[in-house]
A and B are shown apart, each in its own frame.
Chain A
């Protein structure tokens, strides 16, 4: 029997967290949180392979949380999937700029979600360039402070 991969799900709606459990618990070892700060703490302790992150959360929102998680060395191999009801293209881009690997818009099909997670994990364990891809995503986004650019 192989060890289950670890998954951290963060959403301020308990119904959604229960749904994540129902959908994914048979395949993954799941920990859930309901706000950004708890997510960061839990991620550091739990070191999940996959982090499902809602964007709209009280306090530290999903994007800020995502940025923070990406800045942590210990979580470099973790994949972040932003799961949000915000569907405007610029909102999705903001998610990718924050360092997410994938942005999933609600409502999602559970088969789609499962396959997305499996794909990300497979790429990791095949030694692929997912981390580099995420880094490239971040670099492609503005925000880096340079002497010439307006610092944001």
Chain B
């Protein structure tokens, strides 16, 4: 077993590093611990991408999308709040307007209401633009999202105390959905694995016939006992601060569910925890 693998496993056999071990011949076998068989037909050479090898350009499409979505969410909130007050106040003013007031005043208020309505329509269009119907969701490469997530997770010096290794297949791992939302899910898992005291975290994509499995392996999760391990998927305050006011904990499951995926974790006897995010492949890619 490679030195790195020993760091993770302390002598136990672990899926992520089995993959690493098998990468020389490019074949997977059944995982004896988790018990989920990876398909032998999907031959993928798992490679560890060095941190230095990551280019900001790789993450640019996802970064720009994420920035736009966050910006829109906040702008919509900031615009809708005063619009709401203006609309309600104007309607109330119109209702309480005594008959002896000049008709021009009523016309002015009606014009205000109409303008607020137009502004509100514009905001709705913006929301529709950013959150299209599911049928219009885009196909994206999971690898880009994961690379971007790692870039964000290692953006400061203190973040680099915990090494993050990537094992990504050389071919695109295409799923259909919202890359920003998936980034938030993966980032949450990685963040919490890091913050739990792990010295290394491994993020790996394991392709299956009909889905991709994103494994987030961290060892050791020193601060997570069996009782507190739910924290593994509790969204990080730091990560979710700009969605203040929402029920953050519901979002992770909701996002995964909306993508037809599932989230699971395995607790090992050695107190290590693996998180698994499974997302269906894009049907066109399967076809």
Contacts and interface: CB of A to CB of B under 8 A. Distances in A.
Interface of A: 13, 15-16, 19-20, 22-23, 55-57, 61-64, 67, 85-91, 93-94, 97-98, 105-110, 141-143, 148-152
B84 interface: yes
Nearest to A142: B253
B91 A63 contact: no
22 contacts: A15-B89, A19-B89, A19-B92, A22-B95, A55-B245, A56-B77, A85-B78, A85-B79, A85-B84, A87-B80, A89-B127, A90-B254, A97-B250, A97-B254, A98-B247, A107-B83, A107-B85, A108-B84, A110-B91, A110-B92, A148-B264, A150-B263
Q: Is the interface of A mostly helix, strand, loop or mixed?
A: loop
Nearest to A66: B247
B129 to A, nearest CB: 11
Interface of B: 72-73, 76-81, 83-89, 91-92, 95-96, 116-117, 120, 123-124, 127, 130-131, 181, 230, 232-234, 244-247, 249-257, 263-265, 275
A150 B250 contact: no
Contacts of B249: 143, 152
Given A85-B76, A106-B80, A150 B275 contact: yes
Contact of B120 (A89, A107, A143, A150): A107
A151 B228 CA distance: 10
Given A57-B245, A91-B73, A152 B234 contact: yes
Contacts of A148: 264
Contacts of B79: 85
4 nearest A-B residue pairs (beta carbon)? A106-B84, A142-B253, A85-B80, A107-B87
